[in-house]
Amino acid sequence: MPDVTDSPSQGRSITGLILSGGGARAAYQVGVLAAIADLLPDAAHNPFPVIVGTSAGAINAVGLACGALHFTEAIHRLTQVWQGFHTHNVYRSDWAGVLQQSARFVGHSMLGLGGDVPVALLDNAPLRELLSRELDFSGIAAAVARRRLRAVAVTAFGYESAQAVTFYQGRAAIDPWFRHRRVGVPTRLGIEHLMASAAIPLIFPPVRVNREYFGDGAVRQSAPISPALHLGATRVLVVGVSNNARTSAETTQRNQTGKPPTLAQISGHMLNSTFIDNLESDIELLERINHLGRLVPPDARSKGLGSKPVDVLVISPSRPLDQIAARHRRELPAALRLFLRGPGATRASGAGVLSYLLFEPGYCNELIELGYQDAMGQKDELCRFLGLQQMPAPVINLGVEPRVAESPLQNVAEAMNPGAR
């Protein structure tokens, strides 16, 4: 097995994986990773020495890093978790939980009751229990020690410092970095870092790490690709959770109703601005820098002038995820449907918010399937990017009833567990 953590100065490419945030939308990332696992000639090989995640993407990133000694098994575990997700696995969705949290939120925010206890609209204590049960953080150190992983990082936003802090665990040779409102801090990753990175403002409560409270890392992450480059990546695969780049003018015009926006519509745009816009802007900026770098004459490059281009491959949904969420909105527990009906989140026009909160099997499995199909649609580009030989499409039928007939995605999960037939 080749050493995947060599320094970029040694002339070898180091591939970074960037998993953006987006709540339940992150199920899409699992489908993309499942497709990559199917393309690998060596099931155990980790093709991503550098793994960076934010918000729900941070959970996927750390889950992958914990199992970096066997990439396909790690994908299998992630797939199992996401395929079996229910809302109550992430936050309280029962009547007692929803009503109690709503009362706490109103009392704390409007009446000043509750003291210094962090509060939000939803109680995500079940997510902490799930992560504690499913993740073995010792796997990160083991993968780094055996040189199968260079570094893994998650980003959170400090409410007092107003900085995007990237907590990373990896080789000791990686230096911290300090930039305007974004820093890199070496640490031993744990549950608190993940809970902080996934704490969507107002929706989930902030989490204290050391001396400061942190929230979702996407809030002030002006350069989402930057942490991967600081950790040594020389090329990056970005798995997004938006199809903004594919949205046509016709679709935009069709969505214009002339009616006042609901609270859910406004919140949906705010969430999109938090999770999506910075990433898309950073990709565009990096492509421009790459273009300028290619204009530098070769003799000047040999003298260290100009910048070396960073190869970027982006995989993003081919269909609007809010439309998929709208079709599955009845999967929400009754208490949440009532709670979200007033703001308009249970209507088709408010499905943007729903697409972040709908942790239910029907929705998550459709996103996983979409991610798999979209990645396979870019199979040639993926193989070129990862330096893989073309592999035949999986044809094994292992007895799982797929959403689409002969879905190869199911083969990834079940190939690791033949006894499930």
CB contact set of 22 (below 8 Å; sequence gap of 6+): 55, 56, 57, 241, 242, 275, 276, 356
Per-residue three-class SS string for 175-213: CCEEECCEEEEECCCCHHHHHHHCCCCCCCCCEEECCEE
For 96-149, the DSSP string reads HHHHHHHHHHHHHHHH--STT----SS--HHHHHHHHHH--THHHHHHHHTTS-
Distance CA 52, CA 283 (A): 15
Is 216 tagged catalytic? yes
Going by DSSP bridges, is the β-strand pair 151-158/164-170 parallel, antiparallel, or unpaired?
Answer: antiparallel
Of the candidates 38, 123, 197, 216, the residue annotated as catalytic is 216
Of the candidates 55, 197, 267, 316, the residue annotated as catalytic is 55
Residue 311 — φ and ψ, nearest 5°? Answer: -70, 130
- Strand partners of residue 178: 183
Whether the Cβ atoms of residue 203 and residue 353 lie closer than 8 Å to each other: no
**Amino acid identity for residue 168 in this structure:** Y
Is 311 tagged catalytic? no
Tokens 């992983």: give the residue.
149
Using alpha carbons, list the distances in angstroms from residue 163 to 58, 65, 275: 17, 25, 16
What angle (nearest 5°) sits at the alpha carbon of residue 144, between those of residues 84 and 210? 75
- Residues known to be catalytic: 55, 216
